[in-house]
Amino acid sequence: MAETVSGHGGDLMLAALRAYGVTEVFTLSGGHLFPLYDALHTTGVRLLDVRHEQSAVFAAEAVAKLQRRPAVAALTAGPGVTNGISGITSAHFNGSPVVVVGGRAPQFRWGAGSLQEIDHLPIVRPVTKHAETIMSTAQTPEVIHRAVAAAIAPHRGPVFVDAPLEVIFDKAEAVIGAAHAVTPQEADPDELARAAALLARAERPILIAGSDVYTGDAVAALREAAEALQVPVFANGMGRGALPPGHPLAFARARKAAMTGADVVCVVGTPLDFRLGFGDYGEAQVIHIVDAESQKANHAKTAAAPVGDLRLILTALAQTASKHDDWIAKLREVEDAARAKEVDALSADTDPIKPSRVYGALRNVLDADAVTIGDGGDFVSYAGKYLEPGVPGAWLDPGPYGCLGTGMGYAMGARVTYPDRQICVLMGDGAAGFSLMDVESLVRQNLPVVIVVGNNGIWGLEKHPMQALYGYDVAADLQPGLRYDKVVEAMGGAGETVSRAGDLEPALNRAFASGVPYLVNVLTDPADMYPRSANLA
pLDDT score of 326: 96
The fraction of the chain above a pLDDT of 70, given in percent, is: 99
Which of 169-173, 204-208, 347-351, 529-533 is least confident? 529-533
Beta pairing, strands 3-8 & 130-133: unpaired
pLDDT score of 534: 56
Q: Look at residues 26, 8, 32, 14 and name the one whose alpha carbon lies nearest to residue 104.
A: 32
Torsion over CA: 309, 312, 315, 320 (sign): negative
pLDDT score of 529: 87
pLDDT exceeds cutoff 80 at 349: yes
User: Distance between CA 383 and CA 371 in Å, rounded?
Assistant: 12
pLDDT exceeds cutoff 80 at 359: yes
In angstroms, the first-to-last Cα distance of the chain is: 50
Question: Which pLDDT tens digit goes with each residue over 439-475?
Answer: 999 999 999 999 999 999 999 999 999 999 999 999 9
pLDDT exceeds cutoff 80 at 522: yes
pLDDT exceeds cutoff 90 at 399: yes
Give residue 62's pLDDT band: very low, low, confident or very high (50, 70, 90). Answer: very high
Question: Which pLDDT tens digit goes with each residue over 214-254?
Answer: 999 999 999 999 999 999 999 999 999 999 999 999 999 99
User: Distance between CA 9 and CA 446 in Å, rounded?
Assistant: 30
**More confident of the two residues 180 and 148:** 148
pLDDT exceeds cutoff 90 at 137: yes
CB atoms within 10 A of CB 184: 12
Question: Which pLDDT tens digit goes with each residue over 244-290?
Answer: 999 999 999 999 999 999 999 999 999 999 999 999 999 999 999 99
Give residue 537's pLDDT band: very low, low, confident or very high (50, 70, 90). Answer: low
pLDDT score of 531: 83
- Work out the angle between the directed axes of helices 310-317 and 219-229 (0-180°, nearest 10): 20
Question: Which pLDDT tens digit goes with each residue over 84-132?
Answer: 999 999 999 999 999 999 999 999 999 999 999 999 999 999 999 999 9
User: Distance between CA 161 and CA 140 in Å, rounded?
Assistant: 10
Q: Per-residue pLDDT averaged across 181-192, rounded?
A: 95
pLDDT score of 533: 64
Question: Which pLDDT tens digit goes with each residue over 277-315?
Answer: 999 999 999 999 999 999 999 999 999 999 999 999 999
pLDDT score of 422: 98
Alpha-carbon distances of 484 from 171, 452, 453, rounded to whole Å: 48, 10, 8
pLDDT score of 357: 97
CB atoms within 10 A of CB 118: 15
The whole-chain average pLDDT of the chain stands at 96
pLDDT exceeds cutoff 70 at 332: yes
User: Distance between CA 392 and CA 210 in Å, rounded?
Assistant: 11
Q: Per-residue pLDDT averaged across 339-365, rounded?
A: 96
The model scores a pTM over 0.95:
yes
Could you give the 3-state DSSP secondary structure of residue 459? coil
Give residue 171's pLDDT band: very low, low, confident or very high (50, 70, 90). Answer: very high
Give residue 536's pLDDT band: very low, low, confident or very high (50, 70, 90). Answer: low
Alpha-carbon distances of 394 from 86, 237, 249, rounded to whole Å: 23, 10, 20
Judged on CB neighbours under 10 Å (0-12, 13-18, 19+), 325 is exposed
Q: Per-residue pLDDT averaged across 69-74, rounded?
A: 98
